[in-house]
Chain A
C-alpha cells in the first residue's frame, strides 16, 4: 500500500532523520518527499510504500512519536486523497 505522511512542527535539527528512521523501522520505503520551512515551521509531505499488515501499528507509533515531540503527524492511506482530488 501507499500512504501519505504529513509532518508539521517547529523547526529543529533532525526531524527528517527521525521520521525517516521510523519509516525504516517499519519497512516503509520512501517514494517521494517534499519538505520546506515556512516561517520557522517545518512542513513535510512524504509518500511511502509499505506492507498493509504493518500500517496500523506504524500509524500508532508515528502519531505517538508526534505527540511526544510536539509535531503534528498524519499518516493516511493514499486513496483518501486520490479519491477526493481526482475525478
Chain B
C-alpha cells in the first residue's frame, strides 16, 4: 500500500493548503466555422462548440469527486475571433454574443479567444475586432479578450500599443458601474502562447489540433506550507530543492487529471500549465511564498531574486512530472488575486515599477493592477510598451492587464469578487509619454530575433 504519510500529505495539501486544479480548458478550433456570412459563421460556431464541449463540465465534476481534487474552473478557448471576422466582415460583437450564449448553456466559467494577433501589423478583421472590444465586454459576462501586440520575432506594433491604451480605458469606462470589470477580462500580450489555459489570455492558436484539453494547476499554498516547515537556516539552493519537489507533486496531479479528462472526453491531451496561480484566499498567495523565503514583505529589496528562483524551481520540478508542459508555466503575480500582493500594495511596498522588474523573471506581467481612473490612454500605452519590451528582448511572454478605476474616489479599494479579488488603486507616474506613443509605427525586432 502507499505510505500512510504520503496519503496524509496529499489530503493535507488539498484540505489545508488549497491544492487544486485551477482549470480544465478545452481548446476548440473555429477555423472550419469561417463563412462569408457572419450569421452562418455564428451558427457553425454554436453547433461546433456545443458538440465538442457538451460534457466538459460534467466530466470535470466526475473527476473532482472520484479523485478528491477540486477543479475550480471549466473553460473553453477558441481560435482568435479576428480570423473569423476577416472572412465574414460584419460586427464582431455578434461572435462575442454567440460565445456568451454558449458559456451560459454549457455552464463554463469563461470562454477566451475574442482575440487579435497583430504583432507584425493588422490583417483584415483585426482593427474591427479591437474597436469592438469595449462593446463586446460590456455586453457579455463570460468572454475574455486578448491582443498580442509584439513578439521577439516581429518587434512591437506601436500602432496597436496606442490603440490598446485607448481600448483598455474605454472598456473600463463602459463597465464602470460594475467596478470597471471589463478591463479585468482584457489582456495585452507580447509573445502570447497558443496553448495557454489561463484567462484572460487563453485562445486556441492556429497551429493547434482541432480540439484538445489543457490543464492549469495551482498550489502556491502548498509551496508556502513546505517552506514554512523548513528550517530558516537552509541555504537558498536547498530552498530551491524543496520548491522543486513540491512542484513535481503538484504537476503530477495536473498530468493525471489531464490524462483522465482527455480519455473521458475523447479529446487529445494538450499541455499542463505548471503555473503557481494564487487566489485571494488566505494561504494561497505567491507573495507569501516570497515572504516565507525571507522577505519582510513582498515588493521590498530581494523580491526579484526570490521570485526568479521560485519561477525557475517550479519549472525544473514540474517539467519532469508532465509529458507535455506548455502555456505560460511559472509564477503568476496578479495583484488583486493575491492576498499578500494586496497587502504589499496597500502598504506601498509593492509599486508598479517593482512589479515591472518582477515580470522580467517570472510568468506574465503587470497583471490585475488597479490604476487611477484619471490616467491617460497614452500612459496605459506606455505601461504596455514597457512590458512588451521586456518580453521582446527576453524571449518570454509578458502581458498587461490593468484596470483604470473610473469613478473610484482616491483611497477607496475596488472589489471584483470571486477569483478576480479586490485591491487598492496603485499610483502611476504622471510623467507623459504621449509624444512617443503618438509616433506609432513599430519597434523593430531585436537583433537576436535573427536566429536562423
The contact string, 1 if C-beta is below 8 Å from chain A, for chain B 1-23, is 11110111111000000000000
CA distance A13 to B320 in the complex (A): 46
Is A12 in contact with chain B by the CB < 8 A criterion?
Answer: no
CA distance A33 to B1 in the complex (A): 9
Q: Which of B9, B68, B249 contacts A76 (CB under 8 A)?
A: B68
Would you give the shortest CB distance from B316 to chain A, in whole angstroms? 15
Would you give the shortest CB distance from A61 to chain B, in whole angstroms? 12
CB-based nearest A residue for B320: A87
Is A59 in contact with chain B by the CB < 8 A criterion?
Answer: yes
Given contacts A34-B1, A78-B2, contact A56 B65 (CB under 8 A): yes
Residues A83 and B256 in contact, CB atoms below 8 Å apart:
yes
CA distance A75 to B68 in the complex (A): 7
- By a CB distance below 8 angstroms, the chain A residues around B2 are 4, 47, 78, 81-82, 85
Given contacts A81-B2, A83-B255, contact A59 B10 (CB under 8 A): no
Residues A85 and B6 in contact, CB atoms below 8 Å apart:
yes
Interface size, A (range): 20 to 34
| Residues of B within 8 A of A (CB-CB), count | 22
Is B323 in contact with chain A by the CB < 8 A criterion?
Answer: no
Is B105 in contact with chain A by the CB < 8 A criterion?
Answer: no
Is A79 in contact with chain B by the CB < 8 A criterion?
Answer: yes
Interface majority SS on B: helix, strand, loop or mixed?
A: helix
Is A10 in contact with chain B by the CB < 8 A criterion?
Answer: no
Would you give the shortest CB distance from A45 to chain B, in whole angstroms? 5
Would you give the shortest CB distance from A84 to chain B, in whole angstroms? 5
- By a CB distance below 8 angstroms, the chain B residues around A75 are 68
Residues A6 and B67 in contact, CB atoms below 8 Å apart:
no
Given contacts A55-B66, A56-B62, A56-B65, contact A79 B7 (CB under 8 A): no
Given contacts A79-B256, A83-B255, contact A32 B10 (CB under 8 A): no
Is A80 in contact with chain B by the CB < 8 A criterion?
Answer: yes
Given contacts A32-B1, A83-B252, A85-B2, contact A76 B67 (CB under 8 A): yes
Residues B65 and A81 in contact, CB atoms below 8 Å apart:
no
CA distance A17 to B320 in the complex (A): 42
Is B118 in contact with chain A by the CB < 8 A criterion?
Answer: no
Would you give the shortest CB distance from A50 to chain B, in whole angstroms? 12
Given contacts A4-B2, A47-B1, contact A81 B66 (CB under 8 A): no
Is B253 in contact with chain A by the CB < 8 A criterion?
Answer: yes
CA distance A45 to B9 in the complex (A): 13
Is B69 in contact with chain A by the CB < 8 A criterion?
Answer: yes
- By a CB distance below 8 angstroms, the chain A residues around B320 are 87
CA distance A83 to B68 in the complex (A): 14
Would you give the shortest CB distance from A54 to chain B, in whole angstroms? 12
Residues B7 and A45 in contact, CB atoms below 8 Å apart:
yes
Most A-side CB within 10 Å, residue of B9, B65, B253: B65
The contact string, 1 if C-beta is below 8 Å from chain B, for chain A 65-80, is 0000000001111111
Residues A79 and B4 in contact, CB atoms below 8 Å apart:
no
Given contacts A75-B68, A80-B68, contact A85 B249 (CB under 8 A): yes
CA distance A55 to B63 in the complex (A): 12
Would you give the shortest CB distance from A39 to chain B, in whole angstroms? 15
Residues A80 and B6 in contact, CB atoms below 8 Å apart:
no
- By a CB distance below 8 angstroms, the chain A residues around B4 are 34, 45
- By a CB distance below 8 angstroms, the chain B residues around A56 are 62, 65-66
Residues B6 and A81 in contact, CB atoms below 8 Å apart:
yes
Would you give the shortest CB distance from A60 to chain B, in whole angstroms? 8
Would you give the shortest CB distance from A15 to chain B, in whole angstroms? 17
List 9 A-B residue pairs with CB atoms under 8 Å apart, sorted by A's residue number: A45-B1, A56-B66, A76-B67, A76-B68, A83-B252, A83-B255, A84-B6, A84-B253, A85-B2
Given contacts A74-B11, A76-B11, A80-B256, 13 further A-B pairs with CB under 8 A are: A6-B7, A45-B1, A45-B4, A55-B66, A56-B66, A76-B66, A76-B67, A77-B67, A79-B256, A81-B2, A83-B252, A83-B256, A85-B3
- Write the residues of chain A forming the contact surface with B, with a CB cutoff of 8 angstroms: 4, 6, 31-32, 34, 45, 47, 55-56, 59, 74-85, 87
